[in-house]
């Protein structure tokens, strides 16, 4: 149910945190993986580590907010590994600040990376999957990484929450458009996992108080997402498209 042998997966935001983890997990499940982000030194190190363990991986520079960069990243990934049939649109960012203090430039930047970036990544992936015969094979897979902020208010990050709600609806809309083109689109809304995006916050008193309010009084581990991610990227998820999954250890309850 989680075998990715023969698949080629492009993962955005693979230079750190969840994206790097997803690349390792997909590789361990048999996929060739293209790691994409802006910090190419980190991507290169991650791709080499996968190579040393016997996997096929390449590093491609990508700014998800830039259309030309997105096309170039797919070109580079396909030149190195062959046609992409699976995409994990994971790259994302946050800029903290109460709405009354948030400069419009910050609001726009969050939407640009978290929403437009996900759209460009998914659109280019689907175009290529369809061109490579997804309609006939039914094997195209696109997984969008949103957040529990898509459906739950996370205090102090209004723009981030709005962007993630947009990702959830974008995923459902794209799934409807591509249902008869062999490309499944699903959305994953993880709870809090410590990565660069939130490490400073969870080291603070406020962050510790937030953890104490979670039903299990803990952060998740990145490995808590592995089963869902692999299932949604594999042939086993043939009949699942347009679904929004929450995996949050009960944090939003």
Which residues are the active-site residues? 160
159 binds ligand NAP (CB under 6 A): no
Total residue count of the chain as it appears in this document: 253
195 binds ligand NAP (CB under 6 A): yes
CB of 138 to ligand NAP, least distance (A): 27
- Please state, in angstroms and rounded to a whole number, the distance separating the CA atoms of residues 182 and 2: 19
Q: Using CB under 6 A, which of 25, 47, 58, 64 touches ligand NAP?
A: 64
Instruction: Name the packing angle between helices 158-178 and 117-131 (round to 10°).
Output: 20
77-to-33, 84, 128, 233 alpha-carbon distances in Å: 9, 8, 12, 18
Q: Using CB under 6 A, which of 197, 225, 228, 229 touches ligand NAP?
A: 197
26 binds ligand NAP (CB under 6 A): no
39 binds ligand NAP (CB under 6 A): yes
Is the Cβ of residue 108 or residue 238 nearer to ligand NAP in the bound state? Answer: 108
70 binds ligand NAP (CB under 6 A): no
Is the Cβ of residue 58 or residue 134 nearer to ligand NAP in the bound state? Answer: 58
**Which 95-114 residues touch ligand NAP, going by CB under 6 A?**
113
Tokens of 159: 């723009």
Largest interatomic CA distance in the chain:
54
Q: Using CB under 6 A, which of 34, 50, 144, 145 touches ligand NAP?
A: 145
Q: Are 180 and 214 in contact (CB under 8 A)?
A: no
125 binds ligand NAP (CB under 6 A): no
120 binds ligand NAP (CB under 6 A): no
55 binds ligand NAP (CB under 6 A): no
Beta bridge partners of 184: 141
Counting residues that bind ligand NAP (by CB under 6 A) gives 29
- Provide the CA 108 distance to its chain's centre, in angstroms: 20
> What kind and span of H or E run contains 41?
helix 40-52
190 binds ligand NAP (CB under 6 A): yes
Q: What is the DSSP string of 124-188?
A: HHHHHHHHTTHHHH--EEEEEE--GGGTS--TT-HHHHHHHHHHHHHHHHHHHHHGGGTEEEEEE
115 binds ligand NAP (CB under 6 A): no
12 binds ligand NAP (CB under 6 A): yes
Q: Which of 165, 171, 59, 80 is nearest to 123 (CA)?
A: 171
List interacting residues with ligand NAP (CB under 6 A).
Answer: 12-13, 15-19, 37-39, 62-65, 90-93, 113, 117, 145, 147, 190, 192-193, 195-198
């Amino acid at each position: 149910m989680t075998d990715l042998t023969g698949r080629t997966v492009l993962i955005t935001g693979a230079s750190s945190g969840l994206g790097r983890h997803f690349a390792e997990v997909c590789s361990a499940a048999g996929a060739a993986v293209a790691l994409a982000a802006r910090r190419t030194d980190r991507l290169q190190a991650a791709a080499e580590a996968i190579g040393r363990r016997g996997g096929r991986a390449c590093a491609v520079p990508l700014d998800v907010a830039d259309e030309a960069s997105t096309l170039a990243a797919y070109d580079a990934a396909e030149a190195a590994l062959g046609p992409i049939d699976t995409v994990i649109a994971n790259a994302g960012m946050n800029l903290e600040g109460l709405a009354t203090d948030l400069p419009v430039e910050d609001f726009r930047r969050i939407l640009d990376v978290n929403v437009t970036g996900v759209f460009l990544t998914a659109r280019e992936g689907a175009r290529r999957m369809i061109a490579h015969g997804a309609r006939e094979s039914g094997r195209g897979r696109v997984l969008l990484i949103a957040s529990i902020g898509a459906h739950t208010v996370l205090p102090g990050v209004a723009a981030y929450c709005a962007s993630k709600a947009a990702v959830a609806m974008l995923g459902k809309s794209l799934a409807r458009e591509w249902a008869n083109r062999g490309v499944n689109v699903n959305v994953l809304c993880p709870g809090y996992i410590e990565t660069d995006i939130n490490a400073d916050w969870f080291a603070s008193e406020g962050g510790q108080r937030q953890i104490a309010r979670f039903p299990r009084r803990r952060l998740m581990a990145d490995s808590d997402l592995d089963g869902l991610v692999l299932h949604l990227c594999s042939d086993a998820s043939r009949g699942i498209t347009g679904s929004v999954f929450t995996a949050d250890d009960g944090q939003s309850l």
